[in-house]
Chains A and B, each alone.
Chain A
Amino acid sequence: MKDQFVVPARLKKTSFVLMGVGLLTLLIGLIAFQGENATRFWAGLLQNSSFFLLITLASTFFIAATTLAHGGWQIAFRRVPEAISMAVPVLAAILFVVVMILVFGGKEDIYHWVNAHHVAEDKILTWKSAFLNKGFFTVATILTLGLWIFFTLKLRKMSIEEDGWDLRPETGRKLLWRNTVVCGGFLVVFTLSVGSTTPWIWLMSIDAHWFSTMYSWYTFASTWVSGLSLIALFVVYLKKHGYLTYVTEEHLHDLGKFMFAFSIFWTYLWFSQYMLIWYANMPEETEYFQPRVWGQWRPIFFLNLLINFVTPLLFLMKRDTKRNYTAIVFIAIVIIFGHWLDFWQMVYPGTVKTLVFPWYEFGLGLGFVGLIIFLVSNALTKAALVPKNHPYLKESIVHHT
């Protein structure tokens, strides 16, 4: 049984090539988008850094949610989400630098509330300024990023430490108890950050006049389903290279069900946000959808629904596709791309305003993908691929749906 991951040279090369593409795009962007066009440079960075940070953080959420639910099926590949979550600190650092430059560098094209004169003349922004100000933004960002990193590293550290434990029932109970406590703590932080304030301050404040109570959940659903797809991609990759002996199509089937269910969940939240605004038809709310549904972004608006709802719904509906490695890889890539597109249409209409071919954004995205592959494959080598002392390991081995 191959239990110790060794990064294949090809994967390493791929990750470096992708990171190279990303850096090159960043350099080209720096030169191409200057002066008036600099908005696009920053919007692309904000879109990509927030999207990729949140989809790796979804792995920590996966660990926390399955642990609290006393799930046993995921133990056979638990090290995979753990490894993916190890990318959180680096991506958090990138996002932190980006948003700090946006806020303190006075990038009003992205966040128009950073301009004090503008806020003073604007009733709505003045009223919101108790919440939407540089100080609160910074403190909240530091606090959430710090807590995310703390809990992510803590969970990983505990998991590796438990490899040195034994299989006695008391040890097992102790293991479950301390994991439950930490995961519970993380979920509280996660709910208060990704479930409410974080998407407001990072993304919704682009359209500072507008507001939607569904926005954070919508963002969460988007990143959670992409995060599940990311886990599935790494699981299939490892399985295809002869690792993760205990993982069978039964586990893949369950991941597929999650991807299917949360694609529908995303649509549910998308619709809940859209329909109420459409129904009430109040100008201060519809202004968000005006450029998206009736402006230049119309094709993206419908493509978003097609790629993130209709495709996974019809494709993953059948049992056979959820149990097929190639099919899961295909749909996981479609889902991740689809939600990347979703983030694009969340950030761009309020900043860049015009619809342009997203070569720059896509190039940056590839760079982030390369970075994630590099960090995750590195983290995978740091520990055995099976947490051999976990009391639920047997449940995972005999798991079938």
Chain B
Amino acid sequence: MAVKKFVVGLFDDEAVLFPAVKKVRTAGYKLHDVYTPFPIHGLDHAMGLRETSLHTAGFIYGITGTTTALSFMSWVFNVDWPLNIGGKPHFPLPAFIPITFELTVLFAAVGMVMTFCYLCQLMPGVKKHIFHPRQTDDKFVMVIELTEKTNAEEVKTFLAAAGAQDINEQKAEAGWWFGRYDKDDEPYLRKIQTAANA
């Protein structure tokens, strides 16, 4: 958790945003994040994000589900409480398969959702700074982090040249904290404020 300085730029169109993201990376500025109203194909590549390892996590959860289901059912029907059900063997693999399958899917799905939330740092009661009230609404917002090597004015001129509007500098918490969007800090209130100031 650290309070950092950012330069924020607003984009109208993904066709402008895409080349801008590429330019930021070639210019060597530190991209904090890009917020979009909808998933954009290939933006992760343009931003230079590494391939997610969510699939690997999913595979491991799935395998865990398979093992849990098979070992638990075998233990129940062979060790804990052996029953003769319709003359079937005590380890009736075909009868176990549907449950094993379901548990594999359940573990993989729930595990992946939780891992996804962890990777994106999303959770009820977890709050992050909102750089612009219309980010993920209908505007594309690019946030560049200012390090000691970058000059804020230079970044602003750069963003303006790349087609951004509403460029401003913000000092904000980079990580998450406990809080609620509806009570602690209302993005739409800030919007009213800005409108009043203007």
Contacts and interface: CB of A to CB of B under 8 A. Distances in A.
Nearest to B98: A275
B97 A275 contact: yes
17 contacts: A271-B94, A271-B97, A274-B94, A275-B94, A275-B95, A275-B97, A275-B98, A278-B94, A279-B94, A279-B95, A281-B86, A317-B59, A318-B55, A319-B51, A319-B55, A400-B41, A400-B42
A280 to B, nearest CB: 10
A16 to B, nearest CB: 44
A275 B98 CA distance: 10
Contacts of B55: 318-319
Interface residues of B, number: 10
A24 B150 CA distance: 77
A-B interface, 8 closest residue pairs, ranked by CB to CB distance from nearest: A275-B94, A278-B94, A400-B41, A271-B97, A400-B42, A274-B94, A275-B97, A279-B95
A275 B86 CA distance: 15
Interface in A158-190: none
A2 B109 CA distance: 45
Nearest to B55: A319
Interface of A: 271, 274-275, 278-279, 281, 317-319, 400
B183 to A, nearest CB: 41
Interface string B86-109: 100000001101100000000000
Interface string B51-95: 100010001000000000000000000000000001000000011
Interface in B28-60: 41-42, 51, 55, 59
B51 to A, nearest CB: 8
Contacts of B42: 400
A185 to B, nearest CB: 34
Given A271-B94, A275-B98, 4 more contacts: A274-B94, A275-B94, A275-B97, A278-B94
Contacts of B95: 275, 279
B100 to A, nearest CB: 11
B7 to A, nearest CB: 31
Interface in B96-154: 97-98
Q: Which of B41, B94, B95 has the most CB of A within 10 A?
A: B94
Nearest to A319: B55
Nearest to A318: B55
A278 B95 CA distance: 9
Nearest to A280: B86
B59 to A, nearest CB: 7
A274 B42 CA distance: 43
A224 to B, nearest CB: 21
Contacts of B97: 271, 275
A279 B55 CA distance: 35
Contacts of A319: 51, 55
Nearest to A278: B94
A318 B59 CA distance: 10
Contacts of A318: 55
Contacts of B98: 275
A281 B87 CA distance: 10
Nearest to B86: A281
Contacts of B41: 400
Contacts of A317: 59
A271 B94 CA distance: 8
Nearest to A271: B97
Contacts of A279: 94-95
A128 B97 CA distance: 34
A260 to B, nearest CB: 13
Nearest to B97: A271
A319 B59 CA distance: 13
Nearest to B95: A279
A399 to B, nearest CB: 10
A317 B108 CA distance: 14
B49 to A, nearest CB: 15
Contacts of B59: 317
Contacts of A271: 94, 97
Contacts of B94: 271, 274-275, 278-279
A317 B55 CA distance: 9
Nearest to A398: B41
